[in-house]
Structure 1
Amino acid sequence: MVDLSGVEFWYWWVFALFLLAVEVFAPGAIALWMGISAGIVGGLLYIFPDLLWEKQIIIFAVLSVVSVAVWRIYARKHPPATDNPNLNKRGSDLVGYSFTLTANLKNGMGRETINGVLWKIKGRDLPEGTKVSITSVEGTALIVEPEEA
């Protein structure tokens, strides 16, 4: 069995630096908070050199779980600001766009080329030549409604 009673504070600091390096190469904020937790445990061990290794592990585990959980809650409530909120939501830019159907919309389904891209469209059955407007996006399909004359 490995004897962990000889763990010194700098072991935790080296582990913290390792976790921070992992965060640099594989960002995701989990290794960051675990690294900070390891640094805190190292600081506690520096201040209290008689801290049992079992308590060190428990403190590290609790700090890691709590800090990652708090970070995830914070990140969900405060998403990063962006100048292009529709990035990776291709159809979102087309909401409100009007066009004329070049083929019948049968059984609520059809295909239409819009800005050089072939899109699946959904809506009620409509004949070719009907002027429609895109009202929303459902997955990869554009939802259309006929425009009022």
Structure 2
Amino acid sequence: MDLFTTNMPEALIALGILAIAIEAGILGFATLFLLFVGLGTLFTGIAMRIGLLDASWTTALVSVGLSSVILAIVAWQPMRRLQEKVHPQRQTSDFVGLSFNLTSELSADQLSSYRYSGILWTVKPGAKLPQPLPKGTKVVVTAVEVGGLYVVAENSSTDG
């Protein structure tokens, strides 16, 4: 404890960096709590190091607390907006491009099924169907979801 007290600015800087690293590396900026506390601790350590603040326990606690709260108030909304931005990515699959014959009629109201690789897949229309696709129609997979294959008639997939 004496080592921490005699080297308080350096210890606060190290603790601040550690808190930020944990927030970024382990929590992935999910809570933001450690980010604000870490930045407050880092700023306090730097202020003590350059002589703006007295290197005492009371000053450290008050400064870390106040700077953390101020940073949280100022940066909360911009950080929340960054967290909420989601960039959906289309999943690629080896199933895309697979062609097979329908085992039953396929329409928007009536789904079909197809057994492939030991799994019974639900077959769904991959595009709006002007009319139902009859049993035996050759289709090609355009997209995949858990348990489902989206298909279009093979001749319509090469048209456009």
Please give the TM-score of this superposition, normalised by the length of structure 1. Answer: 0.56
Cα gap change, 1:9 to 1:60, in 2 (>3 Å): farther
What pairs with 1:1-149 in structure 2 (closer than 5 Å)?
9=9, 12-13=12-13, 15-16=15-16, 19=19, 22-23=22-23, 26-29=26-29, 30=32, 33-34=35-36, 35-47=38-50, 48-50=52-54, 54=62, 56-63=64-71, 66=75, 69=78, 73=82, 89=91, 92-105=93-106, 107-123=109-125, 124=129, 125-137=132-144, 140-148=147-155
Structure-2 separation of matches of 1:143 and 1:104: 14
Deviations along 1:81-136, one digit per CA (max 9) or x if unpaired, are xxxx87xx4x7432332211223336331221233332221125322211001223
Aligned-pair identity in percent equals 28
How many pairs does the alignment contain? 132
Structure-2 separation of matches of 1:94 and 1:46: 60
Give structure 2 stretches of 5+ with no counterpart: 1-7
Give structure 1 stretches of 5+ with no counterpart: 1-7, 79-84
SS in 2 for 1:148: helix
Question: Would the aligned equivalents of 2:102 and 2:112 in 1 still touch at CA under 8 Å?
Answer: no
Structure-2 separation of matches of 1:101 and 1:31: 54
Partner AA of 1:116 in structure 2: G
Between Structure 1 and Structure 2, whose CA radius of gyration is higher?
Answer: 2
* RMSD of aligned Cα (Å): 4.3
Please give the TM-score of this superposition, normalised by the length of structure 2. Answer: 0.53
Cα gap change, 1:42 to 1:77, in 2 (>3 Å): farther
